[in-house]
A and B are shown apart, each in its own frame.
Chain A
Amino acid sequence: MAEIPDEEFILKTTSACAGCSASLILRYVTKAAGKDTVLVIPACCTSVIQGVYPNTAVNVPVYNVAFASAAAVASGMSEAFRAVGKKTNVICFAGDGGTVDIGIQALSGALERGTDFLYICYDNEAYSNTGMQRSGATPIGAKTTTTPLGKNEYKKDLDAIVEAHNPVYMATACSAYPVDLYNKVKKALSIPGPKFIHVLSPCPPGWRFPSEKTIELGKLAVTSGMWLLYERENGKLTITGASKAAMKKSTPIEDYLKAQGRFRTATPEDIAMLKENSKRKMARLAHEAEAQAAEAEEA
């Protein structure tokens, strides 16, 4: 297990909601990144979490940017730092709206250009900062303020989109497993080039569960196979942490869904589709891991 430093970069004065996963994720990301880091933040919950001028709860420079442009700003920043010989980590810290929807063009461009940066999407599966409207990352059946009868469409497969850009490193993580997250951020920042980490971020007010259950929800997401932990280094897939067990035998998805108010009106068809989607994703990853292992054996 990694030695997680005591030094805090997220001070005890954030404006986060009680039980907020995003602030927990930010805390471990900055611990892994250290002092020589700039955070680039588009409009998202972290616009609020960091505090109100003239105060800030973040002890590394934070650059707040236009909603659609986190990865573009990071491109310019990274190139400028490298041009003058600085190794400063440039990290985008963006929500799912700023990533899978309005920010995806800039993200795609920055990945394709081989930008030396780390993009972290903390995914609370809705536009939480504006009060829980649907996003492209909202799962089927989830109730939001703009899907009052539950969402009818699949969650956009962001990881497949990112993977198609062949980043040097990409991973998924979950706020309930901070050590796994810490290790992945550390590893990502040790590699030059475009890196991406997609972190599930259970949101108590948005998902409608008590704020003390944040970690429990994250664990249920992973043990049920609704969220899979893995990483890809130059394409090589490794299933990590609790997902190794979950892919062999997962806990019932209903336990995860029932713990949240947003799935209260989900239909049996919605739940069947969520299960099918999770099963399909696990099978695809398992198949790929096996194929890679066989290939390695042959070599």
Chain B
Amino acid sequence: MLTFSTGNKAVATAVKDAKTVVVAAYPITPQTEVVEETANNVASGALKARYIPVESEHSSMGACIGAAATGVRTFTATSSHGLVYMCEQIHMSAAARLPIVMANANRALGPGWNIGAEHTDSMSMRDSGWLQAYVSTVQEAYDTTLMAFRIAENENVLLPVMINLDGFLLTHITQPMDTIDDLGDYLPPTNTPHAIDINNPGGYGTLTPPTEHFKFRHDIQRGMKDSVAVIEDAQADFAKRFGRTYGMYEEYLCDDADVVIVAAGTLAKESEVAADILRKEGIKAGVLRIRWLRPFPDLTAALKGKDVVVIDRDYSFGLGGILVNEIRTKALEAFIGKDGKANLPFSVIAGLGGQEVTYDDIADFVRNRKSGGELWFGVTE
């Protein structure tokens, strides 16, 4: 059904359409509408779920762990301080191999208090074993939330999935959204192989010696590796059934591009307009939007031989932009020319704390790119 929705409401609608059984969440700006909308859906009977109004984010993920352990479909949503407050549970839910789905409204961390968009919150969780998607439109927020359940619950994955949407820039904007009236069997019922079974009692998370611990950690990496095929299948089947196509990453005018802008979330959408402007000037620009940060896609072929400008709405202090460093690591060969010389990405740090970044600004980043350089947009030393 074609309707209008905010990013937050899109997530809540997908949670309803997925017939989620337990939702435990704690409100935090700018995610609050997801919680309110879900509470309303449960109160009205539109969603036959248990909504647990927990007293904190550590407990929201705790409650999700308890619910998912019994084998039911489970969801929560958070943002920023809420996400880092539940950090312990983020790691534990992944290590417990529980297919929990969570939406995170990307927001800066304090002090000082700032509720604007920033990716440092979720990217600081990138080593936890959670799959992470970054969406850029309301429609994509809805579609990806639905897919997330299928991916997380797949027996070859059994890892939690985080859907990240930029605080305010996507959570609070209204766009057209086409909801799916009948999902058919796109989302099969949950079938968690290690769900608690009182007829087959066992210890979960007991003291574990190093040999087994090591094996369990390797199993997470295997699940993460296998998740690529599961994501691709979930996206292909989604396209076949519902007509909307998604990839591990999205390319805009990249084929003949000399310079490619890489970004995640709404900044990547803004970059498409910048590419159009640059092309009118004769600069053949394209955009590669990171959709899945974990598992991280192989971008070597996509970026080979191109100038690359990476925009990070995040930062790892003492290292650099998180995206640009992931890309340098995972697509290193793309940046080494035939002559053996490196043409490293130009790193732009922009949009922290909801800083306004326009397509004109992005076009400027491209015009002024310096191989291997780093620019903090708007900061004069």
- Total A residues in contact with B, Cβ cutoff 8 Å: 47
**B58 and A61 within 8 A (CB):** no
Is A250 in contact with chain B by the CB < 8 A criterion? no
Contact A69 B205 (CB under 8 A): no
Interface residues of B in 45-89 (CB under 8 A from A): 49-50, 52-56, 58-60, 62-72, 74, 88-89
B202–A61 touching, CB < 8 Å? yes
Contacts of A37 in B (CB 8 A): 198
Are B24 and A83 touching (Cβ within 8 A)? no
Q: Quick check: is B110 within 8 A (CB to CB) of the other chain?
A: no
Bound: A50/B65 CA distance, A: 21
CB closest chain-A residue, reference B198: A36
Q: Out of B22, B56, B203, B209, name the residue touching A79 (CB < 8 Å).
A: B22
Taking the complex as formed, is A56 at the interface, i.e. its CB lies under 8 A from any CB of chain B?
yes
A59 interface hit (Cβ, 8 Å): yes
Known interface pairs A38-B198, A47-B207; A76-B58 also in contact (CB < 8 Å): no
Q: Is there contact, CB below 8 Å, between B66 and A50?
A: no
Q: Is the CB of A83 within 8 A of B72?
A: yes
Q: Is the interface of B mostly helix, strand, loop or mixed?
A: mixed
B332 at the A/B interface (Cβ < 8 Å)?
Answer: no
- Interface size on B, as a range, is 35 or more
Whether a CB of chain A sits under 8 angstroms from the CB of B212 is: yes
A28 to B380: give the CA distance in the assembly, Å.
Answer: 69
Shortest CB-to-CB span from A243 to chain B, Å, is 33
Question: Contact between B207 and A53 (Cβ–Cβ < 8 Å)?
Answer: yes
A-facing mask of B13-46, CB < 8 A → 1, else 0?
A: 0000000011010000000000000000000000
Residues in B whose Cβ lies below 8 Å from that of A83: 21-22, 49-50, 72
Q: Which of A108-116, A144-152, A153-161 faces chain B?
A: A108-116
| A91 nearest CB across to chain B (Å) | 12
Instruction: Flag if A63 contacts B205 (CB, 8 Å).
Output: yes
Partner of B92, one of A58, A61, A65: A65
**Does A52 belong to the interface (CB within 8 Å)?**
yes
Q: A35-B198, A106-B58 are in contact. Are A63 and B24 (CB under 8 A)?
A: no
| Choice from B53, B68, B209 contacting A52 with Cβ under 8 Å | B209
Q: Let me know if A58 and B56 touch, CB within 8 A.
A: no
List of B residues within 8 angstroms of A35 by Cβ: 198
Q: Does B197 contact A (CB under 8 A)?
A: yes
Instruction: Write the nearest CB–CB distance from A276 to chain B, whole angstroms.
Output: 34
How close is A79's CB to chain B, nearest CB, in angstroms? 4
Interface residues of A in 46-80 (CB under 8 A from B): 47-48, 50-54, 56, 58-66, 68-69, 71-80
16 other contacts beyond A65-B205, A69-B65, A80-B70, with CB at 8 A cut-off? A53-B203, A53-B206, A61-B201, A65-B92, A68-B62, A69-B89, A72-B58, A73-B62, A73-B63, A75-B24, A76-B64, A76-B74, A80-B68, A80-B72, A105-B55, A112-B55
Mark A residues whose CB is within 8 Å of B.
35-38, 40, 47-48, 50-54, 56, 58-66, 68-69, 71-84, 86, 88, 90, 105-106, 108-109, 112-113
What residues make up the interface of B, taking CB atoms closer than 8 Å to A? 21-22, 24, 49-50, 52-56, 58-60, 62-72, 74, 88-89, 92, 196-198, 201-209, 212
- 21 inter-chain pairs at a CB distance below 8 angstroms, sorted by A residue, are A37-B198, A51-B206, A52-B207, A53-B206, A63-B204, A69-B58, A69-B62, A76-B22, A76-B62, A76-B66, A76-B69, A76-B74, A77-B69, A78-B66, A79-B22, A79-B24, A80-B68, A84-B72, A105-B56, A106-B59, A113-B54
- The 10 tightest CB contacts between A and B, nearest first, are A72-B62, A76-B66, A109-B55, A76-B63, A72-B59, A69-B62, A77-B66, A64-B205, A56-B203, A76-B67
